[in-house]
Chain A
Amino acid sequence: MHSRSLPRQLHPGAWWLWSLGLAAAASRTTNPLLLLLILAVAGFVVAARRGDAPWSRSYAAFLRLGLLVLAARMVFAVLLGSPVGGTHVLFTLPQVPLPAWAQGVRLGGAVTLEGVLFALYEGLRLAALLACVGAANALASPSRLLRSLPGALYEAGVAAVVALTFAPNLVADVRRLRAARRLRGRSDRGVRAVLSVGLPVLEGALERSVALAAAMDTRGFGRTAAVPRRVVRTAGALTLLGLLAVCAATYGLLAAGSHPWAPPVLLAGAAAAGAGLVLGGRRSVRTRYRPDPWALPEWLTAASGALVAAALIWYSGRWPGALTPGVVPPTAPTLPLLPALAALLGLLPAFVTPEPPRSTR
């Protein structure tokens, strides 16, 4: 019934799993060729499957942010030197003499090819991670993802959605009020102009929040079913204890030394938290309008992301050298065949998912 040929929205969870997979893969490598390949894969899928809503343009925005991060990383590497050292000096900046207490910090001085390459690779990895988040944003807005949360977490999810819309509104307010400063004959440039509108902007944001809260209340937000108090308390206790157990077990797993108690505690904690959420969900009377189905395309999309991540993690364990090309001494990076093929698996959603519906304008 969910034919691939019919346009529909893919489940937001599938997109986020897919992009998290790509991001996990990108985090395992500093090979610029692989990173560029992952960027291209994400970009291709976004171009093929994004809708026409305003948030669909966020891939480009995140890409720009990534470039900014990359540029900043390079500038710092040039100005402050790099920890990797190296012998291939590109050029030498005049060095600023610093007092003895600032020993270990350097301003200016020799800029080596090794240092620049290292910064470039690291920056590129950050940019690729950001682009993966941008791809998820463009394909499924975070508010859609939060809406598919289980019933017990629904109210927290709405709070998060409201918080997400808060930031763009705030930016619009600051702009409007800075413009209004001009009308009073004051300058609209500089830090003072932004600071002086701070109070009115906060007042406006607060007023808007109160208005939204009132509107949501009159529309039935927060209606609860009559559930015995005992059930409510049990649900709360189970969730809290479960989460505490999960935290403790994660610490045990990650800390040095062997902690045989950690895996069973992790499982028990997760089970308790899950039971708590299911019980807590009984209080909610809410139903879902046209919930996104989870069908074959969703499975394939999520699986393709997971496969990319798994392949790179496995490969980086076996042959770490290929995924982190040497910078001391500088060598030209090569494209390892297997990881490159694995990264191409990420293209799968562009072909197996249905087209998003286009709204008529």
Chain B
Amino acid sequence: MITFEQVGVQYADAPAPALSGVELTIPEGELCLLVGPSGSGKSTLLGTVCGLVPHFTGGTLTGRVTVAGRDTRTHRPRDLADVVGTVGQDPAAHFVTDTVEEELAYGMESMGLAPAVMRRRVEEMLDLLGLAELRGRALSSLSGGQRQRVAIGSVLTVHPKVLVLDEPTSALDPGAAEEVLAVLQRLVHDLGTTVLLSEHRLERVVQYADQVLLLTGPGEPPVLGDPAALMARSPVRPPVVELGLLAGWTPLPLTVRDARRRAAPLREQLPPPAPRLPPAPASPAEPVATVSRLVVSRGAVPALRGVELTLLPGQITALMGRNGAGKSTLLGTLVGLHAPASGTVRVDGRTPHKTRPKELIRSVGLVPQDPRDLLYAETVAEECAAADRDAGAAPGTCRDLLATLLPGVADDRHPRDLSEGQRLTLALAVVLTARPPVLLLDEPTRGLDYAAKARLVTVLRDLAARGHAVLLATHDVELAAELAHRTAVLAEGEIVADGPTPEVVLASPTFAPQTAKILPPHLTVPEAAAALAALDQPAAPAAEPPR
């Protein structure tokens, strides 16, 4: 279906080629998952299939890519539109019209299909993707998962042979991600569509892949093959694979179900996990932020209704819940972006929405969903200098912080040219310059690969150990399980669960991390690894009484 013949891509101002020596064939009807760390050329490879590379992005393409017999060098993206459907990470950027039904028909209108055919296909697609209820709705009123399904539907109505998806579930909550992936699987089964997909959150998708395309680094030729075999040598791995490698299971299980069956004997023998790192300075600590009976309205609808929350110094709290549950509003209220309609918010002894920004940043800092919002300057050095001035800190404070958090960020880089992980760290350093005792992060792992995520975990743990209260809103169940002492779940503007992370996540199948599904009381791979190590040396657990 798709063939690459000695394909290489070199962008004009890049020192090294983004892709080189790609030689492979992707057969028809396969779901092929692109796996690799950030910057390994996944997006570029996807771009060569739909023709955006090089027709739209510039750069030099060597070799030849053919899709359904068409050469992408001579066919522009619009000429490939009837064989390749492309959906990017942000569905909002993809929409041309303003209602669901018109959006589904848009591609077919461009192709010049007969009205009767269009009508039939729109109805079919509404059923296939479960969108029938939403057909007349304005696109701007849809939730994240619904938008992503409409975006996929809008390219499927032209019946493409290939579907190209760049990070389709990264911005979605676990439930919405399941929705989208179920649709993809149905397409592969029922329509025989070839799906090419890249995704950082492998734990969500790897079990659906027929083939894995492993990209180890920029310029290294990618390898196509069996998922189980390739995941074993991949530099990025979901927890289920990590566990499989630890326990030495062959063939490597990729689904939670397989792994659970293999783990049955192990579950009996494994000692229970050591209790979580104690919620820092245990009970006597005074809460550094208190929210009580908080009601916040955004427009006519109440976004938060009667929220109660306290943040303790040294404690990391995860805030979970589906898209639109009010997580960002709660964080915004804690930094005074929204005034409460009723109830109280106290942070470090201040009332956020009545405090001047200059003073407030010494009490509480927020890293927003898109760290770029926080960065204005032309270079990293200027950004740090401005942060020192804003916070009234000694010159060099921010730069030193950045160097400790992430060494090796050059002073003269433009903040927009940094990688996602570097940019997040820079924003974090900027916020920490004022030394706020309360630190808030909104969806920090969006777009981060496993390595960048691991660095973030270390940084945040370290900050908590130094007494910062950390609150992070996230969809990433693995992150919450690994990092948070406490987890609160928000639904429809109310806190529906609040307690120690193990209790909250073990009680819910949606929020449970993979390890917890396979080896129940254990939440993360390191915990399970420690337990396995203890099992190998039976003397150690015997010495310690079971808890």
Residue positions of A touching B, CB distance < 8 A: 53-54, 141, 143, 147, 158, 161-162, 165, 176-177, 179-188, 196-197, 199-200, 203, 208, 211-223, 225, 285-291, 357-360
Which of A185, A222, A223, A287 has a CB less than 8 Å from the CB of B391? A185
Question: Roughly how many angstroms separate A218 CA and B50 CA in the complex, as a whole number?
Answer: 7
Can you name 14 A-B residue pairings with CB atoms under 8 Å?
A: A147-B97, A161-B96, A165-B98, A186-B390, A188-B357, A197-B376, A200-B372, A218-B50, A220-B110, A221-B96, A223-B81, A287-B115, A289-B108, A360-B133
Cβ-defined contact, B78 with A221, below 8 A: yes
Residues of chain A within 8 A of B336, CB atoms compared: 182
Cβ-defined contact, B114 with A287, below 8 A: yes
Cβ-defined contact, A53 with B99, below 8 A: yes
Within 8 A of A (CB), among B126-144: 133-138, 140-141
**Known: A182-B357, A183-B335. Contact between A217 and B119, CB under 8 A?**
no
Question: Roughly how many angstroms separate A286 CA and B335 CA in the complex, as a whole number?
Answer: 50
Cβ-defined contact, B374 with A183, below 8 A: yes
Residues of chain A within 8 A of B155, CB atoms compared: 218-219
- Return A209 CB to nearest CB of chain B, in Å: 9
- Return A321 CB to nearest CB of chain B, in Å: 47
Residues of chain A within 8 A of B55, CB atoms compared: 217
Cβ-defined contact, A288 with B112, below 8 A: no
Residue positions of B touching A, CB distance < 8 A: 50-52, 55-56, 76-82, 84-86, 88, 90, 93-94, 96-99, 101-102, 105-115, 118-119, 122, 133-138, 140-141, 154-155, 158, 332, 335-337, 356-358, 360-361, 365-366, 368, 372-374, 376, 386-387, 390-391, 416, 430-431, 434
Cβ-defined contact, A215 with B93, below 8 A: yes
**Known: A286-B110, A287-B112. Contact between A53 and B82, CB under 8 A?**
no
Question: Roughly how many angstroms separate A223 CA and B114 CA in the complex, as a whole number?
Answer: 16
Residues of chain A within 8 A of B416, CB atoms compared: 203
Residues of chain B within 8 A of A215, CB atoms compared: 86, 88, 93-94, 96
Cβ-defined contact, A187 with B357, below 8 A: yes
Residues of chain B within 8 A of A359, CB atoms compared: 134-137
**Known: A176-B373, A218-B81. Contact between A287 and B337, CB under 8 A?**
no
CB nearest neighbor in A for B89: A211
Closest 5 CB pairs of A and B: A220-B81, A359-B136, A289-B105, A220-B110, A285-B112
- Return B298 CB to nearest CB of chain A, in Å: 12
Question: Roughly how many angstroms separate A141 CA and B99 CA in the complex, as a whole number?
Answer: 11
Which of B97, B105, B366 has a CB less than 8 Å from the CB of A290? B105
Interface centre among B50, B98, B107 (most CB of A within 10 A): B98
Cβ-defined contact, B376 with A220, below 8 A: no
Question: Roughly how many angstroms separate A187 CA and B114 CA in the complex, as a whole number?
Answer: 56
Interface centre among A147, A208, A287 (most CB of B within 10 A): A287
Which of B50, B111, B140, B374 has a CB less than 8 Å from the CB of A285? B111
CB nearest neighbor in A for B154: A219
CB nearest neighbor in A for B104: A289
Residues of chain A within 8 A of B373, CB atoms compared: 176-177, 180, 200
**Known: A158-B96, A220-B158, A289-B109. Contact between A185 and B115, CB under 8 A?**
no
Cβ-defined contact, A183 with B133, below 8 A: no
CB nearest neighbor in B for A285: B112
Cβ-defined contact, B118 with A219, below 8 A: no
Interface centre among A165, A183, A216, A290 (most CB of B within 10 A): A183
Question: Roughly how many angstroms separate A220 CA and B99 CA in the complex, as a whole number?
Answer: 19
- Return A295 CB to nearest CB of chain B, in Å: 17
Question: Roughly how many angstroms separate A220 CA and B108 CA in the complex, as a whole number?
Answer: 9
Residues of chain B within 8 A of A212, CB atoms compared: 93-94, 96
Residues of chain A within 8 A of B56, CB atoms compared: 213-214, 217
For the complex with contacts A211-B93, A221-B96, 14 further pairs of A-B residues with Cβ separation under 8 Å are: A54-B138, A158-B96, A184-B374, A185-B357, A212-B93, A213-B56, A218-B51, A218-B52, A220-B81, A220-B111, A223-B79, A286-B109, A359-B134, A360-B133
- Return B131 CB to nearest CB of chain A, in Å: 12
- Return B70 CB to nearest CB of chain A, in Å: 14
Which of A183, A184, A221 has a CB less than 8 Å from the CB of B110? A221
Residues of chain A within 8 A of B85, CB atoms compared: 218
Question: Roughly how many angstroms separate A61 CA and B474 CA in the complex, as a whole number?
Answer: 37
Residues of chain A within 8 A of B80, CB atoms compared: 218
Cβ-defined contact, A223 with B357, below 8 A: no
Question: Roughly how many angstroms separate A285 CA and B114 CA in the complex, as a whole number?
Answer: 11
Question: Roughly how many angstroms separate A255 CA and B138 CA in the complex, as a whole number?
Answer: 47
- Return A265 CB to nearest CB of chain B, in Å: 37
Question: Roughly how many angstroms separate A214 CA and B86 CA in the complex, as a whole number?
Answer: 10
